[in-house]
Amino acid sequence: MGYVFQGLALNIVQALLLLAFAPLIAGVINKVKAFLQKRQGASVLQEYFDLAKWWKKPTILTPYTSIIFVVAPAVYFITSFLAASMLPGFLAGQISISDAFIFVYILALGRFFMCLSSMDAATAFGGMGGSREVYVSVLVEPAVMLAILINSLRYHSTTLSGMVIDYDGAYFTVSAALACVAFFLVILAENSRLPVDNPDTHLELTMIHEGMTLEYSGPLLTLIHLGSMLKVMVFLTLFGALYLPLAVPLAVKILFGAVLIGLVEILNNKMRLFKVRVYMGAAIVLLLLAIIAE
């Protein structure tokens, strides 16, 4: 029994570690983007200061919102945190609670609550953001499932830890290369980055994820932002652990993924909303090819 508790504790330690570094990775992405625009940019630590600032601010609730509005950010954050604890362990001795399907749908639960809350305040921008988020997630979900299926086929396991590629032996197969590219496209769509969504915009009419958060302030807003940053971290970790066929330490892989996101965001502009299905279609085709190659 003792080792179960010890394993669970390690899972939580792992999630806390990812949480602690999530704002740093967000800062790195912003710095890369600034650098590529020949701007000096904010410090890589800026996201920590921002989170602290939002935390200190009061929460303003409109009288028209229900309990959903308050609960949703907490659910969103907790689901991100759970997902982080389910990642294939980089600390020895964790227990495996990490079935891939549970992982995917725990994240979906968080998103579901955010979509609910976006409609709760009954503002036009929130509702539009929520409906677009559902549209994007409907397209993203099959891609994520396919990406997981590739690894299940290869390792005959549906647990995330069972799928982890051998860190030491880099392997280059056609299937791995295709899956790597496709999963990166999925990361961008899943985390509301360019070219699917624009995390930096102030134009409410174009927003997807940001549109849902417009009515939030104070600690609730902090939770949403922290949850989003953690989600990026979770996907980058998964990308590094499962899909990036390079024989380097995981931390380097995560950093590499962050730089890649910054680079892609500079090279791209936002696509037409209805073109997202073409974009996700491309990712799905790549994954299907990868499965055939496997």
> Which parts of this chain interact with another protein (CB under 8 A)?
33, 36-39, 124-125, 128, 194-195, 198, 200-206, 265-266, 268-275
Q: How far is the CB of 131 from another protein (least distance, A)?
A: 8
Q: How far is the CB of 29 from another protein (least distance, A)?
A: 12
Nearer to another protein, 34 or 104 (CB): 34
Nearer to another protein, 196 or 232 (CB): 196
Q: How far is the CB of 272 from another protein (least distance, A)?
A: 6
Q: How far is the CB of 211 from another protein (least distance, A)?
A: 10
Nearer to another protein, 14 or 198 (CB): 198
Nearer to another protein, 156 or 202 (CB): 202
Q: How far is the CB of 18 from another protein (least distance, A)?
A: 27
Q: From its phi and psi, is residue 109 left (phi > 0), alpha (psi between -120 and 50) or beta? A: alpha
**Closest by CA position to 136, among listed 198, 69, 224, 91:** 198
Nearer to another protein, 87 or 210 (CB): 210
